[in-house]
Amino acid sequence: MNVAIIGATGYGGIELLRLLHQHPFVKVYAIYSSSQEGTNIAALYPHIHTIISHDLQTLDIDHIAKEVDIIFTSTPSGVAGKIVPQLLEKGVKVIDLSGDFRIDDPDIYKEYYNMNQRATQLQKKAIYGLPEWSSFDSSLSFIANPGCFPTVALLGLAPIVQELTIDPASIIIDAKTGVSGAGRSASEATHYPTVNDSVVAYKVNEHQHTPEIEQQLKKWNHTISAITFTPHLIPMTRGIMATMYVTLEEKVTSDEVHHLFTETYRNHPFVRIRPLHSFPRTKEVQGSNFCDIGISYDERTSRLTIVSVIDNLVKGASGQAIQNMNLLCGFDEGAGLQHVPLYP
């Protein structure tokens, strides 16, 4: 099957290219860039020299429609909203890695993304592609890939908010992310002297992933109205750790809560539940599509602590997009993604 990538020069795009290169059932037909056309991708990323060689092309919707089965859009916010409608009209299946089609309410999108949401008529057609909790069939043509923070948070919270009685106002998500989550473009906030030897909270109570997390939690549990989500930037390249707190309003034991998690994800190969009171490190999922989760229930306070980790560029972006593609096309869910994490 031929696939293509729009926005191949960013970290999400080059990770897509790396993973798709090893996929047994697809071929990367073309990659596109709005600013680097004519440049070979290996000139921008020498680590793929002699392994992957593609010249970046100018986007031609009509040509794509004739040659490509699925296209990944890994573009800045606002760009996919212009491109995706044209691709869908031509019959091309799209997996969008931007945030343009994740939020159902255009007013909320504008509030958090500081721009008007384009192609709002497509929102009902977009399937929110959290693979462990979404339904797929071959008739689908459009998947909105979740953000990195929503992925790590929702996978950790899903069993609890759906199966147990909780205090809906008690959900707190304290998350730490590596610098690659900010993208390839340099800025003062991600400059080495700024990031090194430092931890900083940012976009406190205003991060654009907040409404995405809330939207899905409300679909699972209508009593949830709002959450507290605070992201932090830490001096590492890859990885996200979300430490989440939820107050339970029913009597349970630690073993019962742990059993709920293990049973929920028993048939989902990319979510690994740690033994009770064992907690994952970000390094233990680096370079992989795994989400590792550890839990601890404090019966004194009735508060559950959930620690969830992912590689933000793989399970948080490109790996999950390929997992979505596999399910959409009827491939084995793990095709092209069965990588052992890099360690140390």
The pLDDT of 107-133, averaged and rounded, is 94
pLDDT score at 139: 82
**For 40-52, what is the mean pLDDT?**
96
Can you read off the two tokens belonging to residue 112? 């958090």
Task: Provide DSSP, 162-225.
Answer: HHS-B-TT--EEEEEE-GGGG-SS--GGG-HHHHTT--EE-STTT-TTHHHHHHHHHHH-TT--
Task: Grade residue 185 by pLDDT with cuts at 50, 70 and 90.
Answer: confident
Find the range with the poorest average confidence among 124-128, 193-197, 227-231, 323-327. Answer: 124-128
End-to-end CA distance of the chain: 35
Mean pLDDT of 125-144: 91
Predicted local distance difference test score (pLDDT) of residue 141 = 94
Type of residue numbered 251: K
| Band (124; pLDDT cuts 50, 70, 90) | confident
Mean pLDDT, residues 305-310 taken together: 98
The 10s digit of each residue's pLDDT in 78-98 is 999 999 999 999 999 999 999
| Mean pLDDT, rounded, for 100-104 | 96
Spatial distance between the Cα atoms of 82 and 118, rounded to a whole number of angstroms: 7
Q: Is 329 a catalytic residue?
A: no
For residue 275, say if its preceding peptide bond is cis, omega within 30 degrees of 0.
no
The secondary element (H helix, E strand) that includes residue 273 is: strand 271-273
Is the torsion defined by CA of 239, 268, 298, 303 positive or negative? positive
Q: What is the pLDDT of residue 217?
A: 98
Q: CB 28: neighbour CB atoms within 10 A?
A: 19
Q: Give the C-alpha separation, 15 to 292, whole Å.
A: 20
pLDDT at 138: 74
pLDDT confidence of residue 200? 97
- Check pLDDT > 80 for residue 115: yes
294 HSE (CA, 13 A, CB side): 14
- Read off the pLDDT of residues 190-215 as tens digits, 9 standing for 90 and up: 999 999 999 999 999 999 999 999 99
What confidence score (pLDDT) does residue 243 get? Answer: 98
Give the separation between CA 61 and CA 27, rounded to whole angstroms: 19
> At 206, which amino acid appears?
E
**CATH architecture of the domain with residue range 2-125:** 3-Layer(aba) Sandwich (3.40)
Q: For 315-341, what is the mean pLDDT? A: 96
pTM over 0.95: yes
208: left (phi over 0), alpha (psi -120 to 50) or beta: alpha
- Quick one: DSSP state of residue 148? H
pLDDT above 90 for 136: no
Q: Which pLDDT does position 277 carry in this prediction?
A: 87
Residue 65 has pLDDT above 80, yes or no: yes
Query: Distance (Å, rounded) from C-alpha 253 to C-alpha 96?
Result: 41
Looking at residue 97, what is its pLDDT? 98
Q: Place domain 149-311 in its CATH homologous superfamily.
A: Dihydrodipicolinate Reductase; domain 2 (3.30.360.10)
Please give the share of the chain, as a percent, with pLDDT higher than 90. 93
In sequence order, what are the residues at sequence separation of 6 or more whose Cβ sits closer than 8 angstroms to the Cβ of residue 315? 151, 152, 270, 285, 288, 289, 290, 291
Q: What is the pLDDT of residue 109?
A: 96
Out of 14, 127, 148, 171, the active site residue is: 148
Yes or no: say if 65 and 94 are a contact pair by the CB < 8 Å rule.
no
Mean pLDDT of 7-25: 96
Instruction: Work out the average pLDDT over 56-69.
Output: 93
Q: Indicate if the pLDDT at residue 283 is higher than 90.
A: yes
pLDDT for residue 179 is more than 80? yes
Measured CA to CA, the distance from residue 313 to residue 337 in angstroms comes to: 13
- pLDDT band for position 35 (cuts 50, 70, 90): confident
Half-sphere exposure of 136 (CA within 13 A, CB side): 24
The structural domains of the chain, with segments of one domain joined by +, span 2-125, 149-311
Mean pLDDT of the chain: 96
